[in-house]
Amino acid sequence: MHNHLVNNYKVLLFTLLVTLIFSSCRTLLFPQPKPSQSSKMRVSDPNLSNEEYVMRLLADKWPADSLNTAINADYLDDDEKNIILAHNLVRYDPARFARLYVNEYIGYFQGNEFHYPGISTIMITREGVEPALELYTELMRTRPMGLLYPSDGLSLAAQTHVNYLCERGIRGHGRQGGMRRRIERFGEWTDRIAENIAYGSFSAHDAVLYLLIDDQVYNRSHRRIILDPQLHLAGTAKDKHPAYPTGYTYVINYATGFSKHSE
């Protein structure tokens, strides 16, 4: 009888130990969102100037001045500068970005509907909150990487494409010979190039989160581009698309290296 009780006790201890180890490993492998850690600064609000965006980021304890690599790019407007700054936030500290801003966005989902405070338009998603939860887990395990720096040549390539799409009310990365030909009209690139397009985003920060969440893009290709450590330069441009009146449509072109053609 005594041996039977001892054996049961050992089994109970072993089961408890295995449960604790599994729980710890699960937490490490699949970090869970914590809404209490969300930012309250509303950095996705529409119409923030670059200075206003930086001030809100500073309040969230980011080294925003050093991450604002496009501040002196006079060929970009404030919103376009904010696009590059938003990229640099997630590349500089992916886990912090997840805790502050992905957590925030997770709280705005109601089923397949996305409700941003103060925005009357409700975005209807295909996958609901699941891609945002997946993004949170991925960013919590992603290592920091180098910043993106602005490129006027890549911005010119982005401008030609966003204007083309918006004037015709169409979508896509094709037309005008495709991404590679559009970029090569303005210079020579090295190693890698890529392109992201965000349609009808109400702010630059929202556009980057939209691309990171990547609803209905099952290989998450837009997310992979933003988190590609081999890309070092970016150019961007925006325009109003007739099919997406909720905000601006942004084209972002990326490259490892780029030399603009001399004028």
Under the banding of pLDDT at 50, 70 and 90, the label for residue 209 is: very high
Confidence of residue 176 (pLDDT cuts 50, 70, 90): confident
Three-state DSSP state, 203: coil
Q: Are 142 and 98 in contact (CB under 8 A)?
A: no
Listed as own residue / partner, the contacts of 36-40 with beta carbons closer than 8 Å and 24 or more positions apart are 37/99, 37/100, 37/103, 38/99, 38/100, 38/101, 38/103, 38/104, 38/107, 39/100, 39/101, 39/103, 39/104
Predicted pLDDT of residue 136? 97
The amino acid sitting at 97 is F
pLDDT score for 31: 77
By DSSP bridging, strand 123-124 and strand 113-114 are antiparallel
In tens, the pLDDT along 16-74 reads 554 445 444 444 556 788 878 899 999 999 999 999 999 999 999 999 999 999 999 99
Coil/strand/helix, residue 111: coil
| pLDDT tens, position by position, 7-18 | 555 555 555 554
Q: Are 226 and 177 in contact (CB under 8 A)?
A: no
Would you call 196 helix, strand, or coil by DSSP? strand
Work out the pLDDT band at 174, boundaries 50, 70, 90: confident
What pLDDT score was predicted for residue 62?
98
- State yes or no: pLDDT of 243 exceeds 70: yes
Strand order in the sheet with 123-124: 109-110, 113-114, 123-124
In the chain, % of residues over pLDDT 70: 88
**Span 154-177, average pLDDT:** 92
Q: Which two tokens stand for residue 60?
A: 């969230």
Q: For 241, list phi and psi in degrees, rounded to 5.
A: -100, 130
Residue 226 near residue 150 (C-beta atoms within 8 A)? no
Q: What is the predicted pLDDT for the residue at 259? A: 97
